[in-house]
C-alpha cells in the first residue's frame, strides 16, 4: 500500500524552528518529485516547496524563501522540510505529496497525485 506520512509538526513560538519529515512506505520515494504544501483554515492549499526526484532542483514560494529548506535522503526514503524563523502566518496543516519525476519541480497543487494525511504546525506565542 502506497502511503506518505508526515511528522514533526507542533506548537512553536514565533522565530522558532521545526523540521517536518515525509516518510514513504510501500514504494520507493526516490523515483518521485516531492512537494510540500500547506492549508490554513479558510484558505486554499498552497505550494510551499518542492524537490526533484534526484534532488537537483528545488523551488520555494515567495513567502518561505530564505527561511525554509527542503532536502531528501533517498537512502532513508524520506524528504525533510526545515522551517526556520517561523511566523504566525506559517500556521497551517502541512502536507507532502508525490509528482512524477521531473527535471524541474512545480508548486502547482493539481500536478500532485498521492498525499499524506498532514501534520499541524502552529506558530504562536
69-84 per-position pLDDT tens digit:
999 998 899 999 999 9
Q: Is the pLDDT of residue 1 over 80?
A: no
Paired sense of beta strands 78-83 and 68-73, if any? antiparallel
Segment 99-114 shows an average pLDDT of: 93
* CB-based burial label for 20 (10 Å; 0-12, 13-18, 19+): buried
Q: Are 101 and 113 in contact (CB under 8 A)?
A: no
Spatial CB neighbours of 76, under 8 Å, sequence gap ≥ 6: none
Average pLDDT over residues 35-57: 94
Residue among 18, 38, 19, 34 nearest 77 (CA): 34
Residue 34 near residue 21, CB atoms below 8 Å: no
- C-alpha 96/C-alpha 51 separation (Å) is 11
Task: Report residue 56's pLDDT band, with 50, 70 and 90 as the boundaries.
Answer: confident
What's the mean pLDDT in 37-60?
Answer: 94
Query: Is pLDDT of 19 > 80?
Result: yes
C-alpha cell at 90: 506559517
Amino acid at each position: 500500500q502506497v502511503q506518505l506520512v508526515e511528522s514533526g509538526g507542533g506548537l512553536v513560538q514565533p522565530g522558532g524552528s521545526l523540521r517536518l519529515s515525509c516518510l514513504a512506505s510501500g514504494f520507493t520515494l526516490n523515483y518521485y518529485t516531492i512537494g510540500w504544501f500547506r492549508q490554513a483554515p479558510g484558505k486554499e492549499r498552497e505550494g510551499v516547496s518542492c524537490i526533484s526526484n534526484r534532488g537537483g532542483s528545488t523551488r520555494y514560494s515567495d513567502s518561505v524563501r530564505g527561511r525554509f529548506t527542503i532536502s531528501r535522503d533517498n537512502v532513508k526514503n524520506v524528504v525533510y522540510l526545515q522551517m526556520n524563523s517561523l511566523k504566525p502566518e506559517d500556521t497551517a496543516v502541512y502536507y507532502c505529496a508525490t509528482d512524477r519525476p521531473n527535471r524541474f519541480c512545480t508548486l502547482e497543487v493539481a500536478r500532485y497525485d498521492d498525499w499524506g494525511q498532514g501534520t499541524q504546525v502552529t506558530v504562536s506565542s
